[in-house]
Amino acid sequence: MFSMRAVVAAFAMTFLVGCGAQPSSAPTTAPMPPSTSASSPATASSGPVADAPEQLRFTARTVDGAEISGAALAGKPVVLWFWAPWCPKCQREAPGMSKAAKELGSSVTFVGVAALDQVPAMQGFVDRYDLKSFQHIADTDAAVWKRFGVTAQPAYAFIDKAGKVEVVTSQLSEQDLRDRLNKLT
């Protein structure tokens, strides 16, 4: 029988291959907020969970410890950005994401989904790249990543008002990102 540590290590290695880089430092052992609950329905403040696409039926903790309901995002144009703090591609995309969120945040809801590291590294990434204008899920067990079929970072899930989900599993230029965001509004 496999140990949980072996399963987690194998899972993490799958993601490392996608970015082509190793973490710059060992994960910290600081306590983490409760992880996502991908199998239990979220309580949406903006409508019943039944109105949310299946992929949005989760609750999670943000890097700052707040609870977030995926179902509460239903009915809005949303972009989920899947990233890891040590990923060089994610580091290159971060300034463009920050700029887009500041410019379009009133018409598109932005949510970062960080994984493959611990919360202190995630918070450091948010601070370093001025990404505080939108929430970031601390997906330490990659449960939200799994819901969207994400196996490497960076990746995106674009969700329109009707709940149609388009997952993009490649790096986007600022112009490509802007074009996709404009289609959502």
Mean pLDDT by 10 residues, the chain (185 residues): 41 44 34 37 41 89 95 94 97 94 94 97 97 97 96 95 92 91 90
- pLDDT for the residue 158: 96
Tokens found for residue 149: 């079929």
Measure Cα distances from 116 to 106, 126, 139, 148, 154 in Å: 29, 15, 8, 16, 12
Burial of 136 (0-12, 13-18, 19+ CB in 10 A): buried
Closest CA to 138 of 36, 18, 13, 14: 36
Task: Note whether 177 and 154 are within 8 A (CB).
Answer: no
3-state secondary structure of 76: coil
Domains belonging to the chain, first-starting first, are 4-184 (3.40.30.10)
pLDDT of the residue at 34: 38
Please measure the distance between the N-terminal and C-terminal CA atoms of the chain and give it in whole angstroms.
49
